[in-house]
Chains A and B, each alone.
Chain A
Amino acid sequence: MSKSKRVIIEPVTRVEGHGKVSLLLDENNKVKQARFHVVEFRGFERFIQGRPYWEIPVLVQRLCGICPVSHHLAAAKAMDQIVGADKLTPTAEKMRRLMHYGQMFQSHALHFFHLCSPDLLFGFDADPKIRNVIGVAAKYPELAVQGVMMRKYGQEIIKATAGKKIHGTGAIPGGINKNLSIAERDVFLKDIKQMLDWSRSALKIAKDYTVENLEKLTPFASFDSNHLSLIRSDGAMDLYHGNLRAITADGKKIFDQVDYTNYLDYITEEVKSWSYMKFPFIKSLGPQNGWYRVGPLARINTCDFIDTPEAEAARKEFMAVTSGKPNNITMAYHWARMIETLHSIEKINELLNDKDLQGTDLVVKGKRRSEGIGLLEAPRGTLFHHYKINDDDQIVMANLIVSTTNNNEPFNRAVQKVAADHIDGVAEITEGLLNHIEVAIRAYDPCLSCATHAMGKMPLKVTLFDYQGNEIASKTKE
């Protein structure tokens, strides 16, 4: 081939699936039904069949390039039960927590600065050519740099605790395989004040935006829902470990302090013919009423308090907006996410000053079991890992409910609400509709890679069907 000819290299863009929305209209061209579809590739459970259990915390990271640490730790927690490690050493527990808060910090920073801030800073309906991170970089360069550096800080914590940025091996069944050296600790302490300051600034942006636009945001893509998360035994927010709590839209407890190894007694999943992604719901309420939200908004709503001072003060301000009742405003996810960002960096600061991180007692073991269940609060919500092994230590069953799957029904509700607000008698897909569906889905920070195990770009395709099921319009947003 001639060297002067320009070749077209189309790289594989991986990890995330694509979002497809179908809207069914009635005879009066009003929205009758909205569905958010994802394409699924369920090869993962098959992939790990027959693998020895100790490989799983490393293997599961291949499930998702977005939050591999969450899968790493949830699988490790499940394997703790397999090896009978009911209580980890202080060093192991705190190293894992540091890894987890590093993950939470970098993930939330990425979402806020890279994906959400353009919506907040330029408005939902701004030209997509400027409503992106490059637009933010041009108009608010300091903010964009902060986002990148916060993300980098969290990634470096992951590297120091997990051993590597990808395919980390830090968490092992029964503990951890390294501690944090004084030299590593001091690198992070050097920048901690800066990270705290930037987290406060980001929280202020999210809070001010929400409060100033409350009238517009309150109805946007919003609906009443149940909320679910892990909770510490004293009711505090705990992103790494706890028991399950579910509350109704007005704050009544559906269940509380449920040992998560009994999750199957409380949560089940419904299969719908039109979606590959399952629909989890609370058994006692049934599929119609038992669906729930997870993630930052749910966690702020379910907890009684946050055990770090600045995040707790921010939580109180957040809850005051709804007079102490659960906040069901979809766009409040952004504010809640930034409270968690501040909480995470406060926890990182606390942990870095804890000498247990330099301990050398790293692993415990007990009586072997044939089943393990590990849950934690991943950046996008509650993550369930459940495994069974045979006498040869091989995996024979794996069940994963990832955060984005937990939010499946809320996605559909959000799209339905936005579509119904836009399409009223005129069967057309406007740019405004596309933009607003995008903003609504983005509030949840979906990561369709886990939920769908699919490859490919993540365009948003909206298709409109008339009351007889005929396709009448379709638009794609790359």
Chain B
Amino acid sequence: MTIKTEKILLIGFGNPARADDGLGPALAEAIEAKNIAGVTVEADYQLTVEDSARVAEHDIVIFADASINGPEPFGFESLEAKEYDSFSSHSVEPAQVLALAENLFNSKATGYILGIRGYEFDDFGSPISEKAKANLDKAVDFIGKLLKTKNFDKSQKTIACL
């Protein structure tokens, strides 16, 4: 099934001060530098409820995050909206942002998650590890090409796991 791809949002999230946790914002920065038409790029520490309003203004949203134990160098798959309950967390997960966008703003956006495999998360102030940096480079290359071709297919659950 071909998806309407006029407006695409990419949100890279994570804390750049926590080593590989900064993979999401690092990817956002690299993609923004490519200045691809029709693509809006955001970076943040975490996802929050107001991201749902932004998602609702787009046809496709890609959430880019560091992954603790996902595939190497990265995984990329479609995302289903998920309802939730949580204990006093100020942040929300990608699937919950999609659910909020649907519920509050009648969003029809299709969601994807890009999980870039990281390894070091505990050391405050450290840069992205060499191993994770190699994964990041491959993810930037893959997403950059996908955003240019805009060849999204919702029926394909796992888009890439190289």
Contact = CB atoms under 8 A, between A and B. Distances in A.
Contact of B161 (A3, A43, A133): A3
A6 B52 CA distance: 26
Interface in B84-137: 84-91, 93-94, 96, 99-100, 103-105, 113, 115, 118, 121-125
B93 A13 contact: yes
Interface residues of B, number: 56
Contacts of A47: 17, 124-125
A442 B88 contact: yes
Given A14-B21, A14-B45, A141-B103, A151 B87 contact: no
Interface stretch (B31-39, B65-73, B141-149): B65-73
Interface residues of A, number: 65
Nearest to A441: B88
Contacts of A272: none
A447 B46 CA distance: 14
Contacts of A5: 158, 161
Interface in B1-41: 14-18, 21
Contact of B77 (A6, A131, A165, A447): A6
B124 A11 contact: no
B90 A145 contact: no
Contacts of A7: 70-71, 75, 77, 158, 161
Given A44-B124, A134-B83, A10 B69 contact: yes
Contacts of B66: 11-12
Given A6-B157, A148-B49, A12 B77 contact: no
A113 B48 CA distance: 12
Nearest to B69: A10
A65 B90 CA distance: 9
B43 interface: yes
A123 interface: no
Interface of A: 1, 3-16, 19, 41, 43-44, 46-47, 59, 62-63, 65-66, 68, 110-111, 113-115, 128-129, 131-134, 137-138, 141, 144-145, 147-149, 151-152, 155, 165-166, 438, 441-442, 445-447, 453, 455, 457-460, 477-478
Given A10-B115, A11-B68, A16-B90, 14 more contacts: A3-B159, A9-B115, A10-B67, A10-B69, A12-B121, A15-B46, A41-B124, A46-B125, A129-B83, A134-B84, A144-B104, A155-B50, A455-B122, A478-B86
